[in-house]
Chain A
Amino acid sequence: MIDMPLLSVEGLSKSFGRQVACRDISFELWPGEVLGIVGESGSGKSTLLNCIAGRIAVDGGKILYRTAAGDIVDLATALESRKRHLMRTEWGFVQQHARDGLRMNFSAGANIGERLMALGRKHYGSLRDTALEWMAAVEMPGERIDDLPRSFSGGMQQRLQIARNLVTRPRIVLMDEPTGGLDVSVQARLLDLIRRLVQDYNVAAIVVTHDLGVARLLAHRLMVMRHGEVVETGLTDQLLDDPQHAYTQLLVSSVLSV
């Protein structure tokens, strides 16, 4: 294990007009670590995720990322070309709604191959082979490689989204409510898959969720957000079993059983 964080967020702030979405947020993400960001809707957790992904410009703060090549890039100020390149090679983003993260008019194979084609892979046969490998990795039947995402179930769409992101073997994957809106049984399967893939490929991940059960299962570490601020951080089980902040106690006590 390299003794350096993969990502250091320092004093990140973002407001929409007078509405503060993220206030002075700092944290580190280490290689292979899964960080859960929990809080109710409107707490700023999704905004934070989008800021980190470079989808929303921040008002202040640094987002220091250590690249595979070993240099440190501040994503808050980096050139857009650099940022976009990193986002489709060393980073992944799994959206809550598959339609936001997939090309719905293109087949499963094309969706998985897109990042590779963007990197210059121009051999149809090998793109297809890679797509089939990844479909197997996310437990999708290979014979559906030419089918459109809209013909897939919600759970399968999410798995396709994951494959589409992991195909370039990213070092960080951001996930926004990855199991939101899915049936409980489908959720369990997806969670298990994410857990396994994160382990097998040693990907670091930031998972935004309002579901403490999801957080318990996936995250090593949690950050609780409310009104744009981090109110408590800690190891997942510390936070859920011994919550110290009033808001965390409220969150934990509001859940039936986690």
Chain B
Amino acid sequence: MTIQQSYAATATVAGYNFAFLDEQTKRMIRRAILKAVAIPGYQVPFGSREMPLPYGWGTGGMQVTAAVIGKNDVLKVIDQGADDTTNAVSIRRFFTRMTGVATTEKTREATLIQTRHRVPEMPLTENQILVYQVPIPEPLRWLEPRESETRKMHALSEYGVMHVKLYEDISRHGHISTAYDYPVMVNGRYLMRCSPIPKFDTPKLHMNAALQLFGAGREKRIYAVPPYTEVKPLDFEDHPFQIERWPETCALCNAEDSFLDEVILDDRGGRMFVCSDTDYCSERQAAGHRGRMAAPYKEEAAQ
């Protein structure tokens, strides 16, 4: 059973509105989302609510999810690519109790995916929405502390200073060392932070079939990349944007096209690289791909 329908609607906690937020609040957030979709990459302010989690735990993403989730949605929640980490588990459990919707760990089965720090390896479809948890939405924040000034810079497309940051990367490290939360231009107009996804994932935002929504709870901002929107990483002519490469393939599924986590095995320098996207990895293993450290697949082992 992959879709966990054991929690029927009846299992939701009594006394709470569907998806925790009241209908007025959801409407307010949806209006912000609509505006965000209409102006790709533009940060729309919204009246962020207190959620039963502290800021920094994905309250922005949760409010966006709560505003768009319907009874028939199938929800997947990932944290650093994994469905079974604390943050993912507690958010999934929260929505299960507050909506009773089905949840899944399979990317292809989900209609709504809330994510922290990763984009699933499997290409998304037009029937899916990806919700990003965003700690700091303003790409210019570390360069310009004044909000009034950054708003002006967005309004006037004054983004030269962002290249100053990349210039500095190259002058210090010989290459653009910004490895996550890479700055991108959306639809040729707005400079946007992709939330702290690795730069490996940045190209996935470009012309993605799914609707991508970004929620920042503490900073009270929502922004969006509508389906099939151009998303271009900033770079230099002589230092073009490049994604990470690994010396090895996934030790479990042998994938060479996915984002790998380094796992330390012992204190004698032993290590392995495995897919950060656990669903992608297990699907590949199910399809018979084997990495150098993979155990025999459980069905084969059972024979």
Contact = CB atoms under 8 A, between A and B. Distances in A.
Direct touching of A and B (C-beta under 8 Å)? yes
Nearest to A128: B171
Interface centre among A84, A113, A119, A124 (most CB of B within 10 A): A124
Interface stretch (B26-34, B109-117, B231-239): B231-239
A18 B223 CA distance: 44
A33 B172 CA distance: 40
Counting from the closest, the 6 A-B pairs by CB-CB distance are A118-B160, A117-B163, A124-B236, A117-B160, A123-B237, A81-B156
B135 to A, nearest CB: 21
Given A124-B236, A124-B238, A124-B239, A103 B156 contact: no
B167 A109 contact: yes
A185 B160 CA distance: 36
A122 B155 CA distance: 21
A110 interface: yes
A120 B163 CA distance: 9
B163 A84 contact: no
A80 B167 contact: no
A124 B170 contact: yes
B161 interface: yes
Counting contact residues on chain A (CB < 8 A from B), the size range is 20 to 34
Given A84-B158, A110-B171, A146-B172, A117 B237 contact: no
Interface of B: 143, 152, 155-156, 158-161, 163-165, 167-168, 170-172, 235-239
Interface string A160-183: 000000000000000000000000
A118 B161 contact: yes
B167 A110 contact: yes
Contacts of A128: 171
Contact of A146 (B156, B164, B171, B238): B171
Contacts, number: 56
A23 B239 CA distance: 52
The majority secondary structure among interface residues of chain B is: helix
A114 interface: yes
Contacts of A119: 160
Nearest to B235: A122
A118 B163 CA distance: 8
Contacts of A197: none
A252 B36 CA distance: 62
B171 A107 contact: yes
Interface string A80-92: 1100100000000
A70 interface: no
A119 B164 CA distance: 12
10 contacts: A80-B156, A81-B155, A81-B156, A114-B161, A117-B164, A117-B167, A118-B160, A124-B237, A127-B167, A146-B171
A145 B170 CA distance: 13
Contacts of A118: 158-161
Contacts of B171: 107, 109-110, 128, 145-146
